Structure 1
Amino acid sequence: MKSRGESRGDGKAIAVDTAAANEQHYEVPTEFYLGFLGPCMKYSSCEWELNNPNDTLEAAEERTLASYARRVGLDDDGVKRVLDIGCGWGSFTLWAAKKYPQLSFTCFSNSATQIAHITQSAKERGLSNVRATRLDINKLSLQNLGETKPFDRIVSIECLEHSENYELLFERIASLMTPAGKFFCQILGHREYTYKMDSETSWMARNFFTGGTIPSTRLFLHCNKHLCVDAQDVIPGTHYKKTLDTWLERMYANQQGLTKILGSGAAFTKWRMFHLLCAESFGLREGKEYLVAYYTFSRRK
């Protein structure tokens, strides 16, 4: 069902079918993702120098993570504590914890394999300022995070597409923030419509995105009971297409090993089709149909 950006999911759970999303994506063996993601294990769109044929995935990851840190203000005076919501394999947390050793980072995911990867990686890198915990976003609270103090900065990179009740989610996020706190998120969205992924009619929803939402790039402007949008930046979908095309190239280069990890050629083909479908969607109309959107929020006074 489509709407022109105003449906906020009031009265519903923050997210649905979280177990299915885990099974489809985030409990797949980490070794599979190691076979095609970049060195930071960033499973989200990157910022590219699209006119530079020599740009690399490694450089794009670094460029994008630095962009997040700048946008959320990790260098600001008084910043001490940072939360990473839906942290994936820890690309931002691990990168930022090394860059900002004076800050404390807490991150969470609903995936046991992701948390294990982050915990081990932090240990191997000597990062004592990282704490990773497993949590379903529906249970988001300081207590369930094992924390007692609010956070100065919160980030969420391509996690909110797995949610549907944004008013409730933003209320929870606001409750985790200091009065001067900031929240930065990146989403994949449509230029005009917000719509739920329907498992009955959508191959994508059945196989990879059960319970998911494609927000319009204007949706969060309407979710303003608890958070205020301080800044919004919309990036052409061609940046995500370039990211996906690069992942596909790396998948093809490692096809034999990845097929073995997944257990069958059919499983490899399914993942190939997933990345192809996403790449073609975000390349539509020169990247002007499906977009990457950045938001920076503060608490409503």
Structure 2
Amino acid sequence: MPSELSNASPSTEAAPDRAQRFARALLEEAGLGLDAQHPWDMRLHSPDAIRRALAQGNLGLGESYMDGEWDCEQLDEFFARLLRSGVVDRVSPVALLFHALQAHLLNRQTARRAWAVGERHYDLGNDFYADMLDPRMTYTCGYWKDASNLAEAQEAKLDLVCRKLDLRPGMRVLDIGCGWGSFMAFAAKRYGVQCVGVTISREQCEWARQRYAGLPLEFRLQDYRELDERFERIVSIGMFEHVGRKNHRTFMQTLARCLDDDGLCLLHTIGKNRRRSVPDPWIDKYIFPNGDLPSIGQIGDALDGLLVVEDLHNFGADYDRTLMAWYANFEAHWPRFAEELGERFRRMWRYYLLSCAGAFRARDIQLWQWVMSRRGVPGGYRRVS
């Protein structure tokens, strides 16, 4: 998710025209403007948009967009240019200090609080996600190496995971954060395995149980910390972003506890470039409550002495294309949900999808697949791509 426009400068307290001059100078360094001369420029409808952005960073910028105080024809490219330029690192709102302290000092992803993201985000409605996602309902990054559309990219990603895990008929596989069951169903049909999936979303769990009733799949409404049984393979695709830095070690201990001695596990997660950053406040408030992107260093610390890293693969640039495909689907099907969800939700969701696409395009955030074993693969692990 996009880095916050953080740390307010003294211009925040100055007259509106001074704040606007300060903002204009920063944006010009990023190749952006305030007068909509280019499709990636801002178009201001209210001077309050600048004041809110300087005072509250991305929280203020996003909320002012939701309130209609500014627009941008190509919001994705606006964020790509903004983040690539590095100008956001030169601002720091005091208003976000409490948010930063919470992220560093508190466990915001306890077993009790972990259910919030399922209730607020993933339980939004299966019909809504069915219209935005691919036919398998895969809500994670696609693999576009040889794909020409979203469905092909998601199938390629699922098959890539299966091949990296070296799945074989009859294996018992655990999926932590199984979503709507796209990986489990694909693996069962294509590779003949049996799967157990855990999720904290009631909507996802019930939908998957009904859709895949005829396959050797078990869907559980369960927190990962409760797992204590052995599997030959373990996969977690797009769930680790919700675990939180205070629980990374607990998650890896769960993997080590549940993985057979000669087993393999694959962790598919969005990641950040810096260890000492804080969760984006707008994303935290409106999209993924208590989310916390890991860094490579944090993941390394968490698995130290528990697991052997066999392979690390970054294809974060593919998330840009995935998000743009989701956005196209969202806009195409929006009339079905307009009356129920309203225009402010539409602007919120547009900001979410396009700001994240811009962040991946700027390489501000990444997508990693980690392959790990308990004791190291004899003779070495051979990467598949």
SS in 2 for 1:58: helix
Are positions 1:37 and 2:133 aligned together? yes
Q: Distance in 2 between the 1:188 and 1:152 partners? A: 25
1:118 equivalent among 200, 205, 208: 208
Q: Distance in 2 between the 1:300 and 1:156 partners? A: 19
Across the aligned residues of Structure 1 and Structure 2, the Cα RMSD in angstroms comes to 2.5
Post-superposition CA distance 1:71-103 (Å, at most 9, x none)? 11213x8x62100000111110111111123x2
C-alpha contact 2:109 2:290 (8 A) present in aligned 1: no
Are positions 1:68 and 2:161 aligned together? yes
Higher strand share: 1
Which has the bigger relative contact order, CA under 8 A and spacing at least 6? 1
Paired residues for 1:1-301 under 5 Å = 15=110, 17-49=113-145, 55-75=148-168, 80-101=171-192, 103-123=193-213, 126-127=214-215, 129-137=216-224, 139-142=225-228, 149-164=229-244, 165-193=247-275, 195-197=277-279, 202-223=281-302, 224-235=304-315, 237-260=316-339, 262-284=340-362, 288-300=363-375
Q: What letter is aligned with 1:225?
A: G
SS in 2 for 1:182: strand
Change (3 A) 1:119 1:243: same
The alpha-carbon deviation at position 13 of structure 1 amounts to 8.1
Q: Which residue matches 1:6? A: none
Q: Distance in 2 between the 1:294 and 1:10 partners? A: 28
Q: Distance in 2 between the 1:258 and 1:95 partners? A: 29
C-alpha contact 1:94 1:118 (8 A) present in aligned 2: no
C-alpha contact 1:35 1:258 (8 A) present in aligned 2: no
Change (3 A) 1:155 1:270: same
Q: What letter is aligned with 2:198?
A: F
Q: Distance in 2 between the 1:194 and 1:135 partners? A: 30
C-alpha contact 2:267 2:369 (8 A) present in aligned 1: yes
The alpha-carbon deviation at position 23 of structure 1 amounts to 2.5
- TM-score scaled by structure 1? 0.83
Unaligned segments of structure 1, at least 5 residues? 2-8, 143-148
Q: What letter is aligned with 1:291?
A: Q
C-alpha contact 2:177 2:199 (8 A) present in aligned 1: yes
Post-superposition CA distance 1:220-248 (Å, at most 9, x none)? 2222131221111112x321010000000
Aligned length: 271
SS in 2 for 1:39: coil
C-alpha contact 2:262 2:375 (8 A) present in aligned 1: no
The alpha-carbon deviation at position 196 of structure 1 amounts to 3.7
Q: Distance in 2 between the 1:281 and 1:15 partners? A: 28
C-alpha contact 1:195 1:214 (8 A) present in aligned 2: no
The alpha-carbon deviation at position 294 of structure 1 amounts to 0.8
Moved more, 239-248 or 268-277: 268-277
SS in 2 for 1:38: coil
C-alpha contact 1:10 1:168 (8 A) present in aligned 2: no
Higher helix share: 2
Q: Percent of aligned positions with the same letter in both sequences?
A: 27
